[in-house]
């Protein structure tokens, strides 16, 4: 286990970290929290630690989901998991060359800026290597919570790997 100072904020990937991934979800009724997500967020909020979402949503760029549908899905996420202090969303496609799309640091930097904290004082929790790369590129701490979709190479490369969200948040609050 790593020793770190307390986090100023925790930034979560959305799909397969906070909610079960439904590719290009445009239906709020399909939003289903990941196991332990509500408890993890509740613990952070009770400790006074701001929480934010950093998420790639390329379905908007490709026309598979409208901005309004994305907004409705994100509203449902908040209905089920409580309010987030910030949302940083990249709606660009992989070939758009933007600075915000993970693994680039833009979303982490944007969320940290919105929260008024230094990215170096943030923890990013996600389920794939791109989440970890974005955190490191921004100077933030990164914790991987693998799912069956996480590649073995991403697990090996991750600086910290937690079994679930509760464990990851326990490390943040320790």
Among all residues, which ones are annotated catalytic? 13, 15
Residue burial 153-162, b: 16+ Cβ < 10 Å; e: rest:
ebeeebebbb
| Full strand arrangement of the beta sheet holding 86-90 | 86-90, 51-56, 9-12, 122-126, 141-144
Beta-carbon contacts of residue 22 (< 8 Å; ≥ 6 apart): 15, 30, 31
Q: What is the DSSP letter of 5?
A: P
Contact of 11 with 108, CB cutoff 8 Å: yes
């Amino acid at each position: 286990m790593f020793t770190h100072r307390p986090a100023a904020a925790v930034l979560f990937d959305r799909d397969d970290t906070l909610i079960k991934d439904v590719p290009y979800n445009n239906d709020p009724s399909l939003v289903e929290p990941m196991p332990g997500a509500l408890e993890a967020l509740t613990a952070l909020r009770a400790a006074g630690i701001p929480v934010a979402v950093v998420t790639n949503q390329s379905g908007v760029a490709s026309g598979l989901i409208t901005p309004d549908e994305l907004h409705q899905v994100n509203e449902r996420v908040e209905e089920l998991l409580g309010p987030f202090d910030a949302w940083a969303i990249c709606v660009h496609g992989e070939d758009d060359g933007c600075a915000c799309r993970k693994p680039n640091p833009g979303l982490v930097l944007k969320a940290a800026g919105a929260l008024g904290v230094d990215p170096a004082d943030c923890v990013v929790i996600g389920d794939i290597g791109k989440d970890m790369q974005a955190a490191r590129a921004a100077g933030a701490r990164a914790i991987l919570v693998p799912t069956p979709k996480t590649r073995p190479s991403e697990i090996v490369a991750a600086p910290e790997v937690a079994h679930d969200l509760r464990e990851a948040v326990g490390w943040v609050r320790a």
